[in-house]
Amino acid sequence: MVDERNVTLGDWLELREEARAAEALLEDLSFQPSNLTRYWSLSTGLLALTLEIDEYLESRRGTGPPEDEFAVFDDKRRRLRALLAGSEEISEGTDGETE
């Protein structure tokens, strides 16, 4: 668990690796054709999030962590969890197939 007062570079690198692993999982995801739009939305969101994390890390390297670093980290972590949950919902063989 990440300490709200002390988000480390390691925490950020771990989050980035989780996002990249999620990209690989999403590429191999099987889903119903009716979920294609949702799949592309999840994929686009995940790519954007990964890019944001990379940009944040580059900025952090140059200027150091901002005062609200935990809020920034927590937002990106929550977004990643939501994207992963969405991919589970559309995955074939789950109860998320409602369309």
pLDDT at residue 6, as a whole number: 85
pTM of the entire structure?
A: 0.85
Question: Is 74 within the bounds of a domain?
Answer: yes
- Using an 8 Å Cβ cutoff, are 56 and 11 in contact? no
- pLDDT of 3 reads 62
Domain count, the chain: 1
Establish if 2 belongs to a structural domain: no
Q: pLDDT of 37-80, one tens digit each?
A: 999 999 999 999 999 999 999 999 999 888 899 999 999 999 99
Residue range of the domain that includes 13: 9-90
According to DSSP, residue 91 is labeled: B
Residue 38 belongs to some domain of the structure: yes
Q: Is residue 3 situated within a structural domain?
A: no
Phi, psi (degrees; rounded to nearest 5) at 31: -150, 160
DSSP assignment of 1-62? --BTTB--HHHHHHHHHHHHHHHHHHHT--B-GGGHHHHHHHHHHHHHHHHHHHHHHHHHHH
